[in-house]
Structure 1
Amino acid sequence: MAAKIPNAIFSNGNSIPMIGLGTWNSPPGVVTQAVKDAIEIGYRHIDCAHVYQNEHEVGDGIAAKIQDGTIKREDIFVTSKLWNTFHRPDLVEGALKVTLKNLKLAYLDLYLIHWPVAYKEGDELFPMGPDGKTFIFSDADYVDTWKEMEKLVDAGLVKNIGLSNFNSKQIQRVLDVARIKPVCNQIENHAYLHQSKLTAFCREKGIIVTAYSPLGSPARPWVKKDDIVLLHDPILKTIADKHGKEPAQILIRYQIQLGHVVIPKSVTKSRIASNFDVFNFELDADDMKQLAALERNERICPEFGAFGHPHHPFEKEE
């Protein structure tokens, strides 16, 4: 089954499976089984991050499937991300080595700078200021962080490096100094938020877009009772009925047809399997047009606590 997954090709010639299992907001007690289930179903791409605080358990799941012979290390593509408190150049390699230890891996396939904003260095992932709303910032510049990311490739600790939640001006700043160019930008992308200017810029620069929260992140911790639920959109439901598919499958297929890598999150085996079952149909031009027209420019993950940071990517929309 895994062989049927299409790949996106990075600018350096390396490839990444176009669908992966997201692990954000996946509790440590269940994410190990979710990873094992995903690999058994056919996923060959797992997306992780230090800040998710579950990489040890994700690593247990990967290790179990390598140990039982389901996969070899080279069969699975593993992404992780450098958190905002480790942007200072002298902290970058150490942060990666913690992630590698937790994941029980000798190398990562892809390592991303999680956000362009740097937070105060230390043990707190979200160092909170006296107002209780805004994080304490660091003056570390992501351009200097990038130069350390490049050294991780040189050392053989990561195969590819990229960005996450960077706007086009910030990407260009990195490109202007990069010895090794970023291969991808992982951003929020779904039918209510296309970020079309940013995705077009990435395409122009040969940077693959990975879409997180492709289903609208209905289980996000800060969801409000009256928030509009993308999965309940009547137009989406009509398209799903037309194809005999679930709304979630339409949204995942939509991202793939846009040329994006997509990383839906679930810890339920049936849903993990359903999210993967998107390669036996195609959305037609009318479907794509209707989904594009759902645009609301509503951001689910605005990182409010970093508002006021000089490097906040989306406080002032491009």
Structure 2
Amino acid sequence: MDSVGLGLWKIDNDLTAGVVQTAIDCGYRHFDSACDYGNEREAGDGFSAAIAGGKVKREDLWITSKLWNTYHRAEHVRPALERTLADLQTDYLDLYLMHFPIAQSYVPFDTRYPPGWFDDPDATSPAMKPEHVPLIETWQAMEESVSAGLVREIGVCNFGTSLLRDLSNQASVQPAMLQVELHPYLVQEKLVRYCRESQIAVTGFSPLGAQSYFQLNMAQADEAVIEQAIVKDIAANYSKTPAQVVLRWGVQRGTAIVPKTTSESRLKENTALFDFELTAEEMASINGLDRHRRFNDPGEFCEEAFNTFFPIYD
């Protein structure tokens, strides 16, 4: 898996197929999707067009998707995966992740797809509806998808060390990947170290921090990592942009990153990270920006946006 991929979260449906094809033209081979992003069908159109046009072969691509919260019951895992495969127009996924350690009440495809967070958006007081499903039940159904050849690797998102350790102790197939929020304001050094020592690869989503959350009103204007003087000074020393310095920090600490963009120039900028290397002192100074600031926190946004208090980190 390439250490720099394209995250498809928040890419408008009418742009997705074109962005995927442009990214492939720019050399991207790693794509991070999810049922919940609502644009897998369009991403599949992009992959299919690129493959049909001879730009790339399926085996050259690394395609990741994620199991949504409403499909945690064992009997719902494979149908959810098969829907994702159909939308992405592929016979297999390179990586399938459990999106959150959150189980919600099942929503049939013909009722609503993707299901989102509300159990019934049209209710007088819409809210989430938790479902009591052990994580190991979901994981074992995901393991069966590996045995069936529908998935090459499986992993999890938004887990901490305790959940990872508990899952590993019960799993027949060990988690290959943890995807979590990682950026200089949320370094998560202990979690990354635990994964490294446990041979679990790590992908950081929202690698630029607040940039992913301004349009969602989940970050303040003064929380941009790329506006930090330390980052700007380092960028000037290497004739790079502040964003490139932050992204380089992400890959240099041994994690993969999946920044999102729809701009061709930014697609190219986000992969131009391998002609310079940060010094140990520069890495340490960026680490020192850590504020333990989590922008994507169900303990906050579930209550604010979905009328349900649902902490998973505290």
- Same fold by TM-score, threshold 0.5 exceeded? yes
- Measure the CA separation in 2 of the matches of 1:260 and 1:170: 20
Find out whether 1:185 has 2:178 as its counterpart: yes
Residues 254/96 of structure 1: CA separation in 2 closer, same or farther (3 Å cut) = same
* Structure 2 letter corresponding to 1:222: N
* Partner residue of 1:209 out of 197, 202, 210: 202
* Partner residue of 2:141 out of 128, 143, 148: 148
* Partner residue of 2:255 out of 230, 238, 260: 260
Q: Where does residue 267 of structure 2 map in the other structure?
A: 272
Residues 87/25 of structure 1: CA separation in 2 closer, same or farther (3 Å cut) = same
Q: Where does residue 296 of structure 2 map in the other structure?
A: 301
Q: CA deviation at 1:233?
A: 1.4
Q: Where does residue 313 of structure 1 map in the other structure?
A: 312
Q: Where does residue 13 of structure 1 map in the other structure?
A: none
Question: Does the CA contact (< 8 Å) of 2:219 and 2:295 recur in 1?
Answer: no
What does the per-residue CA deviation read over 1:2-38, in whole Å, with 9 as the maximum and x for residues that have no partner? xxxxxxxxxxxxxx11110001011111121111111
Secondary structure class of the residue paired with 2:97: strand
Q: CA deviation at 1:121?
A: 1.2
Question: Does the CA contact (< 8 Å) of 2:210 and 2:223 recur in 1?
Answer: no
Secondary structure class of the residue paired with 1:166: coil
* Structure 1 letter corresponding to 2:77: V
Q: Which moved more, 1:200-209 or 1:293-302?
A: 200-209
Find out whether 1:125 has 2:109 as its counterpart: no
Question: Does the CA contact (< 8 Å) of 1:109 and 1:160 recur in 2?
Answer: yes
Secondary structure class of the residue paired with 2:64: strand
| Structure 1 segments (4+ residues) deviating >3 Å | 128-134, 223-227, 306-309
Question: Does the CA contact (< 8 Å) of 2:96 and 2:155 recur in 1?
Answer: yes
Secondary structure class of the residue paired with 2:195: helix
The residue correspondences of 1:1-20 to structure 2 (distance < 5 A) are 16-20=1-5
Q: Where does residue 12 of structure 2 map in the other structure?
A: 27
Residues 217/32 of structure 1: CA separation in 2 closer, same or farther (3 Å cut) = farther
Find out whether 1:41 has 2:52 as its counterpart: no
Question: Does the CA contact (< 8 Å) of 1:120 and 1:127 recur in 2?
Answer: no
- Measure the CA separation in 2 of the matches of 1:230 and 1:131: 40
TM-score by length of 2: 0.91
Q: Which moved more, 1:270-279 or 1:219-228?
A: 219-228
What does the per-residue CA deviation read over 1:218-237, in whole Å, with 9 as the maximum and x for residues that have no partner? 14213355451112112111
Q: Where does residue 54 of structure 1 map in the other structure?
A: 39
- Measure the CA separation in 2 of the matches of 1:195 and 1:169: 14
Structure 2 segments unaligned to the other structure (5+ residues): none
- Measure the CA separation in 2 of the matches of 1:154 and 1:167: 26
* Structure 1 letter corresponding to 2:117: F
- Measure the CA separation in 1 of the matches of 2:32 and 2:198: 23
- Measure the CA separation in 2 of the matches of 1:87 and 1:131: 26
Question: Does the CA contact (< 8 Å) of 2:206 and 2:212 recur in 1?
Answer: no
- Measure the CA separation in 1 of the matches of 2:247 and 2:257: 7
- Measure the CA separation in 1 of the matches of 2:225 and 2:92: 36
Q: What is the root-mean-square deviation in Å for CA atoms of aligned residues?
A: 1.7
Question: Does the CA contact (< 8 Å) of 2:118 and 2:126 recur in 1?
Answer: no
Q: Where does residue 5 of structure 1 map in the other structure?
A: none
The count of aligned residue pairs is 298
Secondary structure class of the residue paired with 2:246: helix
Residues 179/193 of structure 1: CA separation in 2 closer, same or farther (3 Å cut) = same
Question: Does the CA contact (< 8 Å) of 1:167 and 1:313 recur in 2?
Answer: no
- Measure the CA separation in 2 of the matches of 1:227 and 1:142: 38
* Partner residue of 2:76 out of 85, 88, 91: 91
* Partner residue of 2:237 out of 222, 234, 242: 242
Secondary structure class of the residue paired with 2:55: coil
Structure 1 segments unaligned to the other structure (5+ residues): 1-15
Residues 127/276 of structure 1: CA separation in 2 closer, same or farther (3 Å cut) = same
* Structure 1 letter corresponding to 2:243: A
Q: Where does residue 277 of structure 2 map in the other structure?
A: 282
Q: Where does residue 165 of structure 2 map in the other structure?
A: 172
TM-score by length of 1: 0.90
Q: Where does residue 111 of structure 1 map in the other structure?
A: 96
* Structure 1 letter corresponding to 2:201: I
Question: Does the CA contact (< 8 Å) of 1:23 and 1:52 recur in 2?
Answer: yes
What does the per-residue CA deviation read over 1:46-94, in whole Å, with 9 as the maximum and x for residues that have no partner? 0000000000111111111111111100000000000011111110000
What does the per-residue CA deviation read over 1:121-175, in whole Å, with 9 as the maximum and x for residues that have no partner? 1133212588958522111121110000000000000000001001111111111
